[in-house]
């Protein structure tokens, strides 16, 4: 009977770890989507529009990464 209790506790731990993994995958997917959306929106701007807001085209990837992964 003690073995069954340990097994139940172990499976709960496994279930919690799987749930945590799924949550991290969802979070990473959401961040990747946010990066792609931000990158695409900035890429669609003309050089003049980017200049108006003080962004160089070569900085778009860094800005999108900062927005998605550091905020």
Check residue 52 and give its pLDDT.
97
Check residue 24 and give its pLDDT.
97
Backbone angles phi, psi at 63, to 5 degrees: -65, -45
Instruction: Yes or no: say if 68 and 38 are a contact pair by the CB < 8 Å rule.
Output: yes
Check residue 12 and give its pLDDT.
73
**25-51: burial string, b at 16+ Cβ within 10 Å, e else:** eeeeeeeeeebeebbeebeeeeeeebe
Check residue 10 and give its pLDDT.
63
How buried is 61 (Cβ within 10 angstroms: 0-12 exposed, 13-18 middle, 19+ buried)?
Answer: middle
For residue range 3-23, list pLDDT tens digits in order: 554 445 566 799 999 999 999
For residue range 32-59, list pLDDT tens digits in order: 999 999 999 999 999 999 999 999 999 9
């Amino acid at each position: 009977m003690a073995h069954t209790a340990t097994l139940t506790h172990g499976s709960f731990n496994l279930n919690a770890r799987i749930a945590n993994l799924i949550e991290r995958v969802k979070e990473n997917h959401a961040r990747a989507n946010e990066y792609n959306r931000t990158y695409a929106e900035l890429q669609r701007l003309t050089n003049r529009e980017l200049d108006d807001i003080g962004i160089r085209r070569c900085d778009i990837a860094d800005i999108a990464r900062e927005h998605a992964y550091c905020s």
